Structure formats: structure tokens, C-alpha cells
Amino acid sequence: MFSPEKILQDYFGYKTFRPLQREIIEHTLSGQDSLVIMPTGGGKSICFQIPSLGFEHITLVVSPLISLMKDQVDALHANGIKAAFFNSSLSEFEKSQLMDDCAGNRIKLLYMSPESLLHAVKTWLRKIPVSLLVVDEAHCVSMWGHDFRPEYQLIHHLREVFPDAPMMAVTATADKITRRDIAEKLGLRNYQLFLASFQRSNLKLSVRSQVAKNKKEKEIVEFIREREGESGIYYCLSRKETEEWSAFFNSNGISSRFYHAGMAAAEREKVQDGFIRDEYTVICATIAFGMGIDKSNVRWIIHNNLPKNIEGYYQEIGRAGRDGLPSDTILYYNYRDVVLLNDFIKDSEFKEVYQEKIKRMLHYAEASTCRRNIVLSYFGETITENCGNCDNCLSPPTLFDGSVLAQKALSAVSRAHEAVGINLLVNILRGADTLEIHEKKLNLVKTYGAGKEHSFAEWQHFINQLINQGVLEIAYDNHLHLKLTDLSGRVLKGDQKINLAALKERVAEKKSERKQKSSLTADEQILEELKVWRKQIAAENKVPAYVIFHDSTLTEIAARKPQNSKELLEVQGMGQTKFERFGNTILEIVASFNDSPKKDKRSTFEQTFELYQQGLTVEEMAVNRQMTENTIYGHLARLYEEGKPVNLHQFVSEFEVSKVKEARKKLNHTNQLKPIFDELNGEMDYRKIGLALSILAGQI
């Protein structure tokens, strides 16, 4: 008897399904079509991965990116599930072997790109029995979606080849018109719509408006440094901006790379892989980066510009905190972003629809109410209570009667013949002595200097609110000049009262404060030790660290401190396959911290360093610390990289270091152990390769 709950526990390590997952799985197993709308990090993949184990034949998954396929297949292998991908990265021999495995029913899930699929279905694939068709990132099929791909519109031909296989279309974000279009373009039959909640309460939502570049740079560097070692994505509208910001971060000691569609495919793949494998923490990218990224420990997302629609924005911020741990998102924007976005769509036949989407995005950015509720209502989900985790909820605005301030601003706009933008209006109100003011004789208007008691930033803040309330509007097609509206006259006459919010200064949130939000209080020493071990195992297996275990799983282990196999198997994310592979080692690591009722407050690395200074051998240190020798070597490498006087050459010779350097050069300077191990034909063990890489890192 097929039990989805047992599959969930044994293969994925979870005891209970998230909302809608069980219903979707049952619906799919009954052979019916479905359209699944579930936010990023909501558990979409399990909805088709579990049914695949209940079907007799292959589940065919259409996926848009090679890197996405590889990540998902690696994760499935780690969970003990037979899966594969078929794309252009495989050799002809590998393709032939995979075809044989499919014909022999030795594969449960097969991932393919639309291009590879449409070619294969004309030849070998049409002979393979298929039990389930899955279209991942299904919004790509619709011109109304935020990432339209023409090749996706040919997928409906699969129904002709596999008429008896149910189809599941899956996406993270789609409004009503996009949902209808997906169903029509893919030919879904009597399908059921499964619309999951878009609530992602672990994401903190913040918006920063009209921030000067130098102040913005300072804020962002401070923000990232407070989150040292945490991964984040910095989204930009233009390719040039990604390169400039990446260079800026690197010049400030923040390890960063850029990513955009103008790069060669091999270079993009290299950058993406490096980020996924934690070789650097920050990636500056256009929206070309990130679709389907399974990296679970992205801790923050920053947008440098206003996104073009809420669908894309919500999917992009959804790449943070996929493991459920607290994560931050910040949107920076100014009104020139709106001009640029409108310029992008000016020749589109769907211009009016796209303009409306931009306006909805701007409404979100300028809101003074709960931001999450605005997003949820956009996707048709109504929530009455505030989220408590956006800037407006955490620091509600202080309102005051701003009618007089509004009258001053409106009068200045009128007397300047509606030919000034926000910054020039502020200069008029503050009585600025600038060349532009005098050349345009704006110093002669009656309201010149009428608001000098307020700062430049305060006036910007007030004017933005007047725009948001419809008292002023921006002529995006006329140099961003401010225009009076029907409401302006009533305000000027005193017939309409205007409430304004006082300017809130950004308060930097310290890392210690953020940690308090987690529902678990993990033992930091155990967590650090588990992460060191995970990184080593991931490198040996040539997979990202999160494929071995998510941060949330390690955090729970460090908090619960399981003492035996029964307790360890109760940890979320600890499936049977992973327990068999790693369980004993994890229990040993946890046990090594349970020998003393009073915890040594020094870091685990400091304790190892003290023993090293006493002249103990690695074997003696391992016995003393009740750790494996490999863990001690990992500590010594970390200490060396931090500048401590550790002589790694006593463990790896100069000749061996030069061999690793030569191999690394041939492999495009990779820091992954497995490729170097293979390049050296297995003649040097992983431990020495790791130590050599630490030495080489110090020579750069």
C-alpha cells in the first residue's frame, strides 16, 4: 500500500505535509490534471516527487535551466531517489546510457529542458512509458507571465504523445489572467487549481525610497557586514549596475560576483555554481539570475531598483529563507526607475497591462500600511491582521495634520507652472541658493523658503506621500515634472484635510537581535562544528552544502542535541537515507559537546588552537576534543586562513601544494575538492587537497 506520509518521512525526513501538499499528491495519483500555484519555498517539488514514487513509469519534468535540473537531481540522489537529467551538458555516451536506464524503468524522475524534450519526443522518448507530465516554472508559457519563453508554448504537443499521462503545471507566482493562459496554452483537461497561501512570514519586508547613492552604499555595506558569512542576492535592472555594485562590494571587503545575460553561458554557470557552493556570499544580478535556485540558505535579497511587477518581485524575494529561517528583504527605489520601466514597455502591444502592473508595484513601495497584506491581496488572498514583520508594522508611521505643508508644496508647484520635479520643488520650499533656482527665477515665487524648517529628506518624504495620496502626480513622460490633480484644488482651498507620516530614520538591526526571532536557540559551537563537517562532505560529494542538509536541519540538531538514533530521526529533514549515511557521525559530533556540564565559552577553533600551541599531534588533539582527525584538520585550515600561526606545511608538502595549484589552474581556479581529486587521479587525499587550498588562498 503506497503511503505518501511514509515516503515523506523515509525519503525527505518530514513528519507532516505543508498545506495543500497532501491534496495535490492524492489528486495527481488519481490521474487528474492540476495547476499548482505555490510560493517559492512552499514545497512545490514534493507535490510531484512523491507521486513519482507511486507511479509505475517515469515522471517527466520540464525545467527551464540546466543548473536547476542538476540541483534537484543531486538533492533527490541525496534522499535516495532515482532521478536524472537529460540536456546538452551530457556526453553522447552519458545520453545513451540514460536512454537505456529510462527504457529499463530504472529512473523515477527525468528532468529535461523544453528544447531537449521537444527533440527527444520525436525520437527515443516517445517509446518510453510516461506516468506523469510536470511543467515546472509554468508561468514561462504565458505572455502575461513575468518570464515568458516562446519554447514553452510547444509543450502542449506532449499531450498528443502521452495522452494518458496526467499533467501538473507548477509555478510560484501567477495572477488570474496568467493562470487562465497557462491552462489554455498547456491544454490542461478538467484540471483543478491548487492555490497555496502566499504567506511567507519568515521574510521581513522593507522599502527605502529616494535614498541618495552615497547614503545607500553606506547603508548596504553596513547591512551586509552585520550578516557576515550569510548569502544574499543584490538585484539590479541593468547589466552595468551589476558589475559596478559587485566591484563596489569587493572594494569594501565583501566577496561578490556579478551575473547577467550578456555573459557567456559558461561564465554564468561558473558564477552561479560558485554562489550555490558558498565560494562567495554576494551575487549582483539582473533578474536573469535565480529562477528555480534551490539554495536554501539565502538570508537576504536587496533590490536596487523598482521591479516591473509584483509577481516577479515576490518570486525574487522568495529566494531568501527557503529553509524557513528569518531572512531580510529590502527594496530601494526612486521615480526614475518608473521612467526606465515604462521605457522598456513603450513599444509593447500589451503596454497598458504592463503599465498597470508597474503602478501596482509602485503602490506597494509607497504604502504606509502592512506590506505583506498588499502582496497577498494582489494574489487574491485577504488577510485582516497585520503581518508584524514589515517596516510599516514594526515601526508604524506617526501621523500628523500635514494640510499646511501640503498647501505650501502645491502652491510652489502651481507658481512654478508645474515644471519642476521633486528635488527642485524641495529646493524651492527650503529656500536653496542654487544656480538652477536663480536661472529659473524660482527664488521669486511666494513659497520660496516657506518650508526651511524641514530637512531635504523630510520634504522628499512628505511629497512622496502627497503623490501616493493622489494630491500630486508625476508626469513620467515629461521629465518627471509634478502635476496638480483634481484633489489639489480642494487641499489648497482648505476643504480637504491631509494627514502625513513623519520621517522614520532607518535603524540598523544587529545580528544578535535577529537571532532572537528564531524559534530555536541553537548551541552555536555545535552548529559551527556541524557546518564545518557539512562543508567537507559537500566538497567531497561535489554538491552544494544545502543538498547534504539545510541550515534549518543543522540548527534543530544543535538545539535539540539528539543522543541516539531515535531522537535524531525526529529532526525535520533527517530522512532514512541521510541517517544511514551520516547519522553516526552527527551523533558523534553532538556527543563531543556533552562531556562537561559547564560549556567552555571559547570557540571550538580557539580550543583546538590552544592544543596546537601545546605541541599536541593531530591524533592527540582529536582524542582530547573527542572529534575525528578530519575535523581537527578542518579547524587548523580555518585557523590558518584567519591568520593564526599554524604551520600547514607540516601536513602537506610544498610539492603537493604546487600539484594542487597546477590542477586548480586547469580547472578554472575551482575551490571544489572533488574535481581536483579527479584531476590528480586520486593520488592525493581530500585532507591534503583541502589544506593545500588554504595555503594557496593565503598567497592570493
Region 178-203: what's the mean pLDDT? Answer: 90
Say if residue 625's pLDDT is above 60. Answer: yes
Q: 356-370, 424-438, 586-600, 620-634: lowest mean pLDDT where?
A: 586-600
Distance of alpha carbon 674 from alpha carbon 537, whole angstroms: 10
pLDDT of residue 270: 86
User: What pLDDT score does 53 carry?
Assistant: 94
For residues 593 and 559, give the distance between their C-alpha atoms in angstroms, rounded to a whole number: 12
Q: Which grid cell sits at 278?
A: 558558498
The reported pLDDT for the residue numbered 598 is 44
The mean per-residue pLDDT over the stretch 663-667 comes to: 83
Q: Is the dihedral of CA 291, 112, 57, 83 positive or negative?
A: negative
- pLDDT: which is higher, 686 or 597: 686
Place of cell 508597474: 358
So what's the pLDDT on residue 188? 94
> Torsion-angle region of residue 229: left (phi > 0), alpha (psi -120 to 50) or beta?
left
- The answer to whether residue 123 scores a pLDDT higher than 50 is yes
Q: Tell me the β-bridge partners of 61.
A: 111, 134
Whole-angstrom distance, CA of residue 585 vs CA of residue 588: 5
The helices-and-strands tally (H runs, E runs) of the chain is: 33, 17
Distant-in-sequence, close-in-space partners of 637: CB < 8 Å, separation ≥ 6: 648, 690, 691, 694
Looking at residue 520, its pLDDT comes to 45
Residue 517 scores a pLDDT above 70:
no
Q: What is the CATH number of domain 399-501?
A: 1.10.10.10
Q: Which of 41, 45, 37 is nearest to 11 (CA)?
A: 45
**Band (602; pLDDT cuts 50, 70, 90):** low
Q: In this structure, are residues 581 and 537 in contact, taking their beta carbons and an 8 Å threshold?
A: no
Transcribe 640-687 into DSSP letters.
Answer: HHTT----GGGTS-HHHHHHHHHHHHHTTT---HHHHHHHTTT-S-HH
Structure confidence at residue 25 as a pLDDT band (50, 70, 90): very high
> pLDDT tier at 505 (50, 70, 90 boundaries)?
low
Task: Report the pLDDT value the prediction gives residue 509, as an integer from 0 to 100.
Answer: 53
- In the block, residue with C-alpha cell 513623519: 502
* Model pLDDT, residue 409: 94
- Choice between 240 and 150, residue whose per-residue pLDDT is larger: 240
| Separation between Cα atoms, residue 160 and residue 90, nearest integer Å | 27
Question: Are 634 and 690 contacting, i.e. CB atoms less than 8 angstroms apart?
Answer: yes
User: Whats the size of the chain, residue-wise?
Assistant: 700
The pLDDT tens digits of the residues spanning 275-330 come to: 888 888 999 998 766 554 668 889 999 999 999 988 889 989 988 988 888 999 99
Residue 404, pLDDT > 90, answer yes
Query: Is residue 197 very low, low, confident or very high in pLDDT (cuts 50, 70, 90)?
Result: confident
pLDDT above 90: residue 39: no
Identify the CATH number of the domain defined by range 517-699: 1.10.150.80
CA dist 570 to 77, 201, 325, 576, 594, Å? Answer: 21, 24, 19, 11, 19
Residue ranges covered by each domain of the chain: 4-195, 203-394, 399-501, 517-699
> What does the DSSP assignment read for 535-587?
HHHHHHHTS-HHHH--HHHHHHHHHH---SHHHHHTSTT--HHHHHHHHHHHH
> Which of 3.30.2130.30, 3.40.50.620, 3.40.50.300, 3.30.559.10 would CATH assign to domain 4-195?
3.40.50.300
Q: Point out the least confidently predicted range of 31-40, 89-98, 673-682.
A: 673-682
CA gap 208, 365 in Å, rounded: 8
Other C-beta atoms lying within 10 Å of the C-beta of residue 612: 20
Residue 672 has pLDDT above 70, yes or no: no
What's phi and psi for 405, nearest 5 deg?
Answer: -60, -40
Cell of 475: 508626469
State the SS3 of 586-597.
HHHHHHCCCCCC
pLDDT at 700: 54
pLDDT above 50 (res 597) = no
Residue 691 confidence (pLDDT)? 87
Asked if 138 and 171 touch (Cβ cutoff 8 Å), the reply is: yes
* Residue 359, all three cell numbers: 503602478
For 322-344, what is each residue's pLDDT tens digit? 888 899 999 999 888 988 898 88
pLDDT over 60 at 667, yes or no = yes
What CATH superfamily classification does 203-394 receive? P-loop containing nucleotide triphosphate hydrolases (3.40.50.300)
Kindly write down the DSSP assignment for every residue of 274-327, as one continuous string.
HHHTTSSSEEEE-TTS-TT---TTEEEEEESS--S-HHHHHHHHTTS-TTSS-E
Question: What confidence tier does 416 reach under pLDDT thresholds 50, 70, 90?
Answer: very high
Mean pLDDT of the chain: 86
User: What is d(CA 382, CA 361) in angstroms, rounded to the nearest whole number?
Assistant: 18
Q: How far apart are CA 458 and CA 657, in angstroms?
A: 59
pLDDT at 88: 78
Q: Both ends of the chain: CA-CA distance in Å?
A: 58
Choose among 296, 326, 322: nearest CA to 546.
296
Q: Which amino acid is at 128?
A: I
pLDDT value for 47: 95
Average pLDDT over residues 508-522: 49
Q: What percent of the chain shows pLDDT beyond 90?
A: 33
| Residue corresponding to grid cell 501621523 | 399
- Which one, of 503, 551, 553, lies nearest residue 398 by Cα? 503
Decide if pLDDT at 241 tops 50. yes
Quick count: other Cβ atoms within 10 Å of Cβ 214?
Answer: 8
| pLDDT one-digit tens code per residue, 359-399 | 889 889 988 888 998 888 878 777 778 889 999 999 888 88
Average pLDDT over residues 225-249: 93
Within 10 A of 264 (CB to CB), how many other CB atoms are there? 8
Where residue 681 falls (left for φ over 0; alpha for ψ -120 to 50; beta otherwise) is left
* Element of type H or E holding 328: strand 327-333
**Residue 124 burial (C-beta neighbours within 10 Å; 0-12, 13-18, 19+):** middle
**CB 237 within 8 Å of CB 261:** no
Q: Supply the pLDDT for residue 669.
A: 73
pLDDT at 519: 44
Query: How far is residue 228's CA from residue 132's CA, in Å, rounded to a whole number?
Result: 43
Instruction: Count the alpha carbons within 13 Å of 688 in the hemisphere toward its beta carbon.
Output: 19
Report the percentage of the chain scoring pLDDT > 70.
92
Mean pLDDT within 78-88 = 88
How are the residues of the chain apportioned to helix, strand and coil, as percentages rounded to the nearest 5? Answer: 50, 10, 40
Which pLDDT score is estimated for 522? 61
Where does residue 88 rank: exposed (0-12), middle (13-18), buried (19+ CB within 10 A)?
Answer: exposed
Predicted confidence at residue 516, as pLDDT, reads 46
- Assessment of whether the complete model's pTM goes beyond 0.75: no
Lowest-pLDDT range, 108-122, 138-152, 243-257? Answer: 138-152
The predicted-structure confidence for 468-485, as pLDDT tens digits, reads as follows 677 888 886 777 889 998
Pairing state of beta strands 109-112 and 83-86? parallel
Instruction: Give DSSP secondary structure letters for 392-412.
Output: HHHSPPPEEE-HHHHHHHHHH
DSSP for 184-220, please give it. HHHT--S-EEEE-----TTEEEEEEES--HHHHHHHH
Domains 4-195 and 203-394 are alike in CATH topology: yes
